[in-house]
């Protein structure tokens, strides 16, 4: 069975603080993919990153960075020097080898960045 857990329901930070959003996943597949999406209040889900199970390299894109650790089944997302525009709901998702077209989403973490 595939499952994604985002234990943090809501996080509030003050602008310029760093914040880490946690994502823990469960799967029996050896080949799987992990994703992060951002959903601002407007509603559209914005793709942020895709990572496959064979690539454990961490990734940095501007103020965003991702830490993938298979040993702990985690794929955490860090925003450095947060900005008000980062306020959104962030979803972690998993897709496995049984059906690549099916995404399993976590429950989401709402991030509030206050000025």
Partner 1 sequence: DTEVTQTPKHLVMGMTNKKSLKCEQHMGHRAMYWYKQKAKKPPELMFVYSYEKLSINESVPSRFSPECPNSSLLNLHLHALQPEDSALYLCASSQPGTSSVSEQFFGPGTRLTVL
Which parts of this chain interact with partner 1 (CB under 8 A)? 33, 35, 37, 42-47, 50, 52, 91, 95, 99-103, 105-108
Give the shortest CB-81-to-partner 1 separation in angstroms: 26
Give the shortest CB-13-to-partner 1 separation in angstroms: 20
* Bridging pattern class, strands 109-114 and 59-61: unpaired
Give the shortest CB-16-to-partner 1 separation in angstroms: 27
Nearest to partner 1 of 7, 81 (CB atom): 7
Residue 41: C-alpha distances to residues 32, 83, 85, 110 (Å): 29, 15, 11, 10
């Amino acid at each position: 069975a595939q499952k994604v857990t985002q234990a943090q329901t809501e996080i509030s930070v003050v602008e310029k603080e760093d914040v880490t959003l946690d994502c823990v996943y469960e799967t029996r597949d050896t080949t799987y993919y992990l994703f992060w999406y951002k959903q601002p209040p407007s509603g559209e889900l914005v793709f942020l990153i895709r990572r496959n199970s064979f690539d454990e390299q961490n990734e940095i894109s501007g103020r965003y960075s991702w830490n993938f650790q298979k040993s702990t089944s985690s794929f955490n997302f860090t925003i450095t020097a947060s900005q008000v525009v980062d306020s959104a709901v962030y979803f972690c998702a998993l897709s496995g080898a049984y059906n690549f077209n099916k995404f399993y989403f976590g429950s989401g973490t709402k991030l509030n960045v206050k000025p």
